[in-house]
Amino acid sequence: MAAGPKTLKGFASWFATEKRVGDRLPYDRLLDDRTIVMRDGSLMQSIYLEGFAFETADTEEVNHRQIIRAAALRAIGSSRFVLYHHIIRRRVSVGLNSTFDDPVCNLIQQRWQNKLSSRQLFVNDLFITVVRRNPKGKVGFAESLADMFGRGMGENSQAAGLARDHKELQGATEALLAALQAYGPRILSGYETANGRCSEPLELLSAIYNGEMRPVLRPATDLGQYIPYRRVSFGLEAMEQSSLGNGKDFAAIMSLKDYPPHATPGMCDAILRLPFEMVLTESFGFVDRQIGLERINLALRRMRAADEEAMSLRQGLMSAKDDLSIGAMGLGEHHMSLLVRAKSMAQLDPAVAQSLAALADLGAVAVREDVNLEPAFWAQFPGNEGYIARKALISTGAYSSFASLHGFPIGQPEGNHWGQAVCIFETSSGTPYYFNFHKADLGNFTVIGPSGSGKTVVLNFLAAQSQKFKPRTVLFDKDRGAEIFIRSIGGHYATLRPGEPTGFNPLQLPDNAGNRAFLRSLIAQLIVRPDLPLNSEEEAIISEAVDANFDQEPRYRRLRFFRELLGGVRRPTHGDLAARFNPWVGEGEHAWLFDNAEDELDMETRTLGFDMTLLLNEPTLRTPCMMYLFQRVEERLDGTPALIIIDEGWKALDDEVFAAAIRNWMKTLRKRNAILGFGTQSARDALDSRISSAIIEQAATQIFMPNPRAQEEDYCVGFGLTLHELDLIRALPASSRAFLIKHGNHSVVARLDLGAMPDILTVLSGRESSVRQLDELRAQYGDAPADWWPHLLGQPYPGSVPSQTGRL
């Protein structure tokens, strides 16, 4: 029994002398939502950055941005500041909590979500932390004396010094925010939750330590002691983190030992794609100009004393000395480490090998930390400069190349014009991309790709994913590519074939000023000929006839009777209005289009599809047909979401009638919460149409499918792509199921791979063989999708039972 107290006493003695984990974190308290005060009086603020979408940018732009970053660093220049750059790559489980009324769209969403969940997707969070540190060396000693004798030593003096440092820190942070506007910067601050006020700066520090990005409540205690909630154990080459309920993580750290001979923008980009979680840390402590010159002079003297023959190195030092003297560059002490995480030691070693290979590709020598593992871990934290064991003096230009602030766009999950993102794509970098049509309230889009590139699948997939917004959907189709999809979700689909009555009767539109004006335009379009334009008298006759039409009984409001109104009481003559109207009525060759007894087009149906294939090359038929359908669509727009997709839309609207009105019409759609999507196989055909400039100007999103024959004049001059974006489109294999999305100011390579879902592909691809099979099944089983779906796809219709007439 005597041993017990001695053991407990010894443990208590050991515990009293053992440092706590939080003692190694230098953070004391929050001065305000943005600012952390360290125990030594230093201050820090952090900035989150979306990053620059480098993957699709030209080399010239990448180089230009590096020059801008270097200039921003030189503007700070004081040894009182240290910059920390962190990239936290973390695995994410992505998904959208979407609700679909339609079972087929719900099935497509579930299957695609399962596909995404099976993938390892990551996001890269970029941060810049600005530390206002206490002065060091001779300068620090002089400032300390000034504080002691010039300002006194009381609490008021300390408060004044803190206020002064805080003001200078804010100035440096705001200058960086302004200089880095192109990178989407946002200063980390506080925010309210149901559980209390949370702190984003503490979330950053917690993520570095605990390996998890999660909310952190603002505490009233010492920050260093508050941040850790996972136990850390250090071994020789690896460390273990564990906590109740979270299992264990293993990590290793690599540090840069020898630097590459040259630094180039984006040199660390390959690290951003590594398929595991990691934390990349860089620090850059500014060195005053005079001290920097002394360091360079010392290096030159040593070279001369050793009689070294490295002329290029000597010339480089002389050039750096000149640049530093005139302020063309700055110097700072730099360190870089890479912490990689894994769930087991068996997974950790391959991750380390990949990381070392990526660092070696920079031309650098990196080492896996062993005895220096623990100091390397603590050196990741802003303000912990004392733990840095490997550092080198580099220029602001070199640091701006190491810290390129490159990132991958992820889109916007929530808060878009229609609310939630339309869907999630996987990018070529293994990150999620939340796709949206809209930029602010502008949502028009284009999809361009040759036959076989996957354009039809993308268009139909976007239409399917959009159904969660419950939009009125109208799809003007080509080659019946959307018929299976539209019929499967219970929509109405009509194939317009010359000679077959359409059931369209524009003369039976409701009587209002808008419809009267439309009918005057439509009748004029039917009558006018290039060699015989309408005169003012004929326009007046048409106007009177339209007015008279609305005075008739519904059964007489038909084109064949309207011809009599055009003739009036005048004697018929060759080429008069009634004669020019003959092809559109009775036995005329175009009578099938509008000379129908009833207007059977039901615009109450939420989803409509029209196959326009046989009319696209017939402007005489195409233009009035599109005029009528657009009028019917527009009259139903009431501010609820509406989606209008026109495959080969440039050809469908390539007419003087639409060219003159397209801009105003698109403005009307925008005001009424409707978006317009255009698809085409040929970029050249689109650009040659009369409406091309209006469509391109009003498109918030452009999607380009793979095309090895894409021309610079079409894609770069016509659609405004960069040369690098064009190269990507040319290089993407059609089998990759990848495409370029250009949205607002960013672009990204995304992927829609449905290869493991042949049933979904059958619905969305609209292959000719599948459409012909659908014709046979509908003839046998009827139009109800629950009846023909099982025979087409070999599975029950999702969420429904067949009708009484259907057979399984």
Q: Which band of pLDDT confidence, cut at 50, 70 and 90, is reported for residue 141?
A: low
Q: What pLDDT digit, counting tens, does each position of 673-716 carry?
A: 999 999 999 999 889 988 888 889 999 999 999 999 999 999 99
Q: What is the pLDDT of residue 612?
A: 94
* CA–CA gap between residue 698 and residue 191 (Å, rounded): 36
Q: Kindly provide the residue ranges of all beta strands, DSSP E only, lying in 182-246, ordered along the sequence.
A: 185-187, 190-193, 196-199, 231-234, 239-243
10 Å Cβ neighbour count for 682? 17
Q: Compute the average pLDDT of residues 350-371.
A: 93
Query: What does the angle CA 285 – CA 403 – CA 140 come to, to the nearest 5 degrees?
Result: 10
Q: What are the C-alpha distances in Å from 17 to residues 57, 133, 227, 375, 386?
A: 55, 28, 21, 19, 21
Q: What is the pLDDT of residue 5?
A: 46
- Range in 320-329, 448-457, 538-547, 761-770 with the lowest mean pLDDT: 320-329
Q: What are the C-alpha distances in Å from 136 to residues 144, 146, 168, 287, 392?
A: 10, 14, 17, 10, 18
* CA–CA gap between residue 208 and residue 281 (Å, rounded): 10
Q: Copy the structure tokens of residue 777.
A: 């099944």
More confident residue, 657 or 212: 212
Question: H helices of 550-689, where?
Answer: 559-567, 577-581, 591-594, 619-635, 649-652, 656-671, 683-688
Q: Is the pLDDT of residue 527 over 60?
A: yes
Q: What is the pLDDT of residue 9?
A: 54
Phi, psi of 141 (to 5 degrees): -65, -40
Q: Which band of pLDDT confidence, cut at 50, 70 and 90, is reported for residue 179?
A: very high
Q: What are the C-alpha distances in Å from 563 to residues 219, 338, 566?
A: 83, 81, 5
Which H/E stretch holds residue 769?
helix 768-781
* CA–CA gap between residue 718 and residue 711 (Å, rounded): 10
Q: What pLDDT digit, counting tens, does each position of 229-266 carry?
A: 999 999 999 999 987 666 789 999 999 999 998 889 99
Cα distance from N-terminal residue to C-terminal residue, the chain: 82
Residues 6+ apart with CB under 8 A from 679: 446, 447, 448, 455, 456, 459, 645, 646, 647, 648, 649
Q: Copy the structure tokens of residue 226.
A: 């508050």
More confident residue, 551 or 664: 551
Q: What is the pLDDT of residue 528?
A: 87
What SS3 class is residue 515?
A: helix
pLDDT > 90: what percent of the chain? 70
Contact 394, 335 (CB under 8 A): no
Q: Compute the average pLDDT of residues 20-25.
A: 88
Q: What is the pLDDT of residue 532?
A: 82
Q: Which residues of 557-592 are buried (b: 16+ CB within 10 A; e: fewer)?
A: bbbbbbbebbbeeeeeeeebbbebbebbbeebebbb
Q: What are the C-alpha distances in Å from 142 to residues 43, 58, 129, 136, 168?
A: 20, 48, 27, 9, 19
Q: How far is CA 229 from the centre of its chain?
A: 34
Q: What is the pLDDT of residue 299?
A: 66
In which residue are the tokens 């515990």 written?
15
- Range in 138-152, 214-228, 343-357, 504-518 with the lowest mean pLDDT: 138-152
Q: What is the pLDDT of residue 103?
A: 95
Q: Which band of pLDDT confidence, cut at 50, 70 and 90, is reported for residue 15?
A: very low
Phi, psi of 78 (to 5 degrees): -90, 140
Q: What pLDDT digit, counting tens, does each position of 50-107 carry?
A: 999 998 888 899 999 999 999 999 989 888 999 999 999 999 999 898 999 999 999 9
Q: Is the pLDDT of residue 355 over 50?
A: yes
Contact 550, 560 (CB under 8 A): no
Q: Copy the structure tokens of residue 628.
A: 């009528």
Q: How far is CA 631 from the centre of its chain?
A: 34
Q: What is the pLDDT of residue 14?
A: 43
Q: What is the pLDDT of residue 805?
A: 39
Contact 224, 25 (CB under 8 A): yes
Q: What is the pLDDT of residue 651?
A: 83
In which residue are the tokens 């040759």 written?
450
The DSSP bridge pattern shows strands 492-495 and 607-611 to be: parallel
Q: What is the pLDDT of residue 403?
A: 94
pTM: 0.88
* CA–CA gap between residue 190 and residue 218 (Å, rounded): 8
Q: Is the pLDDT of residue 777 over 60?
A: yes
Contact 465, 109 (CB under 8 A): yes
What SS3 class is residue 227?
A: coil
Contact 663, 694 (CB under 8 A): yes
Q: What pLDDT digit, counting tens, does each position of 194-204 carry?
A: 999 999 999 99
10 Å Cβ neighbour count for 490? 18
Q: Which residues of 144-158 are buried (b: 16+ CB within 10 A; e: fewer)?
A: eeebeeeeeeeeeee
Q: What pLDDT digit, counting tens, does each position of 578-630 carry?
A: 888 999 999 999 999 999 999 999 998 999 999 999 998 899 999 999 999 99
10 Å Cβ neighbour count for 668? 13
**CA-CA-CA-CA torsion sign (401, 183, 45, 280):** negative
* CA–CA gap between residue 57 and residue 747 (Å, rounded): 9
* CA–CA gap between residue 295 and residue 302 (Å, rounded): 11
Q: Which band of pLDDT confidence, cut at 50, 70 and 90, is reported for residue 656?
A: confident
Q: Is the pLDDT of residue 134 over 90?
A: no
Phi, psi of 114 (to 5 degrees): -60, -40
Q: What pLDDT digit, counting tens, does each position of 433-463 carry?
A: 999 999 999 999 999 999 989 999 999 999 9
- Range in 273-287, 289-303, 554-568 with the lowest mean pLDDT: 289-303
Strand partners, 739: 750
Q: Which band of pLDDT confidence, cut at 50, 70 and 90, is reported for residue 312?
A: low
Q: Is the pLDDT of residue 146 over 70?
A: no
What SS3 class is residue 146?
A: helix
DSSP 8-state symbol, 743: E
Q: What are the C-alpha distances in Å from 605 to residues 221, 509, 636, 644?
A: 62, 17, 11, 14
Q: What is the pLDDT of residue 4?
A: 43
Q: Kindly provide the residue ranges of all beta strands, DSSP E only, lying in 401-460, ordered along the sequence.
A: 406-407, 423-427, 432-435, 445-448
DSSP 8-state symbol, 468: G
10 Å Cβ neighbour count for 484? 27
SS3 labels along 367-407: EECCCCHHHHHHCCCCCCHHHCCCCEEEEHHHHHHHCCCEE
Q: Is the pLDDT of residue 7 over 60?
A: no
Q: What is the pLDDT of residue 2?
A: 42
Q: What is the pLDDT of residue 144?
A: 55
Going by C-alpha positions, the residue among 600, 426, 644 that lies closest to residue 500 is: 600
Q: What is the pLDDT of residue 734?
A: 85
Q: What pLDDT digit, counting tens, does each position of 498-526 carry?
A: 999 999 999 999 999 999 999 999 999 99
